[in-house]
A and B are shown apart, each in its own frame.
Chain A
Amino acid sequence: MFKRPHILVFLAPAVIIYTLVMILPLFGTLRLALFRGDGFVGLANFQTLFGDPRWSAAFWNALGNNLWFFIVHMLVQNPIGIALAALLSSNRLRGAAFYRTAIFIPTILSFVVVGFAWKLILSPLWGIAPNMLDAVGLKSLFAPWLGREGSALTTLALISVWQFVGIPMMLIYAAMISIPDEVIEAAEIDGITGWSQFRRIKLPLILPAIGIISVLTFVGNFNAFDLIYVSQGALAGPNYATDILGTFMFRTFFGFQLQLGDPNMGATIASVMFVIILAGVCLYLFGIHRRLRRYQF
């Protein structure tokens, strides 16, 4: 390597920036979690986080909310994405490019736009949502969903689903159009069409892609922050009902209103998030990814 200095020159900028700005701070954060002020305290911060009733209540609340946020994505976003991809990839469908482009539009918008636009639409003040429900005779169903403890988190999760459904749609679509025509034709000759063709031929072939979108959803959800911050503020109201790990870490690290910022506890929460995300990714890589047979054509 040293006889060929150009290798170093090619690698150096990427490796240096990546190491300095990403890897070292990641370890720096894990290290900070073991300190209080300047003193090394071992796992005391974690003991506080899990043991102190005030901290642990907030933590489990955020973790539980985050889990629900993820479950809604898995149950709503990914099935809708798969269904849309299946429709788009049915052969001889005209206008597939138009639908694809249009359905992907929310994904490119910023959380600020998405969070606020939905806040306006769901606002009882403006009345778009109640009036539309009124038009189909369901006005009684309307409630200020974002303002109620029981429904705020699910509403936000569904808004996020609305925004990101384009990603599973695209990835599954890519997997579906790479299934060779012969396979589909053979199925059709055997009289396997429509739903049973999807379930018995296509679904097994797109399982690896479903694995990928699941892990992407997991990492994205357990790292989410922006949408909640934009629509509910750093306090993740009402009464912390929409608090997830990202907002919890932000509030702890920076402080908010009367609460002072605490970098060590912020780092402690970030470390727990790191462990959760790493566990999810490892579970995928070693548990699921390996077991899925990859079909090579």
Chain B
Amino acid sequence: MRARMIAAHIALLIYTLIALFPVWVVVINSFKSRQAIFREPLALPDADSFSLIGYQTVAAQGDFLLYFQNSLIVTCLSLAGVLLFGAMAAFALSEYRFRGNALMGLYLALGIMIPIRLGTVSILQGMVAAGLNNTLAALILVYIAQGLPLAVFILAEFVSGISDDLKSAGRMDGLSEYAIFFRLVLPLIRPALATVAVFTMIPIWNDLWFPLILAPSEGTKTITLGTQVFLGQFVTNWNAVLAALTLAIVPVLVLYLIFSRQLIRGITSGAVK
């Protein structure tokens, strides 16, 4: 038993090293001078080899602050849309019996399996026709549509778990259906909302396809697209490339470490069965 535990730890440790090694190499080398990057790629930066030249290049060249701001706006507004509209639809589907209820649920669930990317050609044409190409609004709309199916599916399960007594008591007190949703139901499904938020956020923040196609202009680039373009231009400037990669890794990593318990609890609690 003991020996087996040790073997399990060794196997897991090896895999953890495999998972973290590339990230580690990129981050430590981003703080080194060019010579040190090539001479001893696996060494930690020391007084001799420490250099911020890569970060200076990034700061001088790219509009990373703007890209970052764009990504933040797109992610936050998409997230707000997915959570609010998703919770409203989930509430309607699981609270009220009406004709077409099951059909509507199935219709919304279609998008869980069929990727929205397949409609890209028409999405671009539609956005151009609506004058929304090269705006953040186009991205936000697409990401809301992309996130809704799974959000509705997961939230409906949680909403239907809320006790009927509570809602009946609310109705007895003369609360409108809207008040019941916003004042009673929403606060109760906050943990589920957090889970859905983490699920939804990561693909939006990391997406390259839609920013590349719908909003590639300089003013609307997201951080993912901005990094990609920057890396393409500075491909031979290793300091700048490593610094840009580190800047792209760190915020996501910090957010992940803060929310990882929520994410993991969300996955393991059977939210995706």
Cβ contact within 8 Å between A14 and B18: no
Tell me which residues across on chain B come within 8 A of A287, comparing CB atoms. Answer: none
Cβ of A64 within 8 Å of any chain B Cβ, yes or no, is: no
Closest 10 pairs (CB-CB, A-B): A28-B122, A25-B119, A110-B206, A25-B122, A10-B92, A21-B145, A14-B89, A174-B268, A26-B119, A6-B177
The CA of A223 and the CA of B249, in the complex, are separated in Å by: 24
The CA of A14 and the CA of B82, in the complex, are separated in Å by: 8
Residues of A89-143 whose CB lies within 8 A of B = 90, 92-93, 95, 97, 99-106, 108-114, 116-118, 120-121, 126-128, 131
Cβ contact within 8 Å between B5 and A92: yes
Cβ of B224 within 8 Å of any chain A Cβ, yes or no, is: yes
B-binding segment of A39-47, A65-73, A274-282? A274-282
Residues in A lying within 8 Å of B, measured CB to CB: 1, 4, 6-7, 9-11, 13-15, 17-18, 20-29, 32, 80, 83-84, 87-88, 90, 92-93, 95, 97, 99-106, 108-114, 116-118, 120-121, 126-128, 131, 162, 165-166, 170-171, 173-174, 177-178, 194, 212, 215, 219, 223, 225-226, 229-230, 246, 253-254, 263, 266-267, 270-271, 273-274, 277-278, 281
Known: A1-B99, A88-B12. A113 touches B248 (CB 8 A): yes
Cβ of B142 within 8 Å of any chain A Cβ, yes or no, is: yes
Cβ of B267 within 8 Å of any chain A Cβ, yes or no, is: yes
Residues in B lying within 8 Å of A, measured CB to CB: 4-5, 8-9, 11-13, 15-16, 18-20, 22-23, 25-26, 37-38, 41-42, 81, 84-86, 88-89, 91-93, 96, 98-100, 104, 107-108, 110-111, 113-123, 125-126, 141-142, 144-146, 148-149, 152, 176-178, 181, 202, 205-209, 213, 224, 227-228, 231, 238, 241-242, 245, 248-249, 252-253, 256-257, 260, 263-264, 267-270, 272-273
Tell me which residues across on chain B come within 8 A of A11, comparing CB atoms. Answer: 88-89, 92-93, 104
How near does chain A come to B131, taking the closest CB pair, in angstroms? Answer: 15
Tell me which residues across on chain B come within 8 A of A109, comparing CB atoms. Answer: 23, 206, 249, 252
Cβ contact within 8 Å between A7 and B92: yes
Tell me which residues across on chain A come within 8 A of B114, comparing CB atoms. Answer: 26, 274, 277-278, 281
How near does chain B come to A256, taking the closest CB pair, in angstroms? Answer: 13
Tell me which residues across on chain A come within 8 A of B144, comparing CB atoms. Answer: 17, 21
Cβ contact within 8 Å between B25 and A121: yes
The CA of A111 and the CA of B121, in the complex, are separated in Å by: 22
The CA of A105 and the CA of B264, in the complex, are separated in Å by: 12
Tell me which residues across on chain A come within 8 A of B26, comparing CB atoms. Answer: 113, 117, 120
Residue of A at shortest CB range from B264?
A100
How near does chain A come to B100, taking the closest CB pair, in angstroms? Answer: 8
Q: Is the interface of A mostly helix, strand, loop or mixed?
A: helix
Known: A29-B121, A110-B205. A104 touches B264 (CB 8 A): yes
Cβ contact within 8 Å between B22 and A118: yes
Cβ contact within 8 Å between B205 and A93: no
A-B contact pairs, 29 of them (CB 8 A): A4-B96, A6-B176, A7-B98, A10-B89, A14-B89, A18-B149, A21-B123, A21-B142, A23-B111, A25-B121, A25-B126, A26-B119, A108-B253, A112-B224, A116-B245, A117-B245, A120-B26, A120-B241, A127-B38, A128-B42, A174-B267, A174-B268, A177-B268, A219-B115, A225-B208, A254-B213, A263-B125, A266-B120, A271-B118
The CA of A127 and the CA of B37, in the complex, are separated in Å by: 10
Cβ contact within 8 Å between A87 and B121: no
Tell me which residues across on chain B come within 8 A of A7, comparing CB atoms. Answer: 92, 96, 98
Cβ contact within 8 Å between B122 and A13: no
How near does chain B come to A17, taking the closest CB pair, in angstroms? Answer: 5
The CA of A166 and the CA of B16, in the complex, are separated in Å by: 11
Tell me which residues across on chain A come within 8 A of B206, comparing CB atoms. Answer: 108-112
Our pick among A18, A20, A28, A105 for the contact of B23 (Cβ within 8 Å) is A105
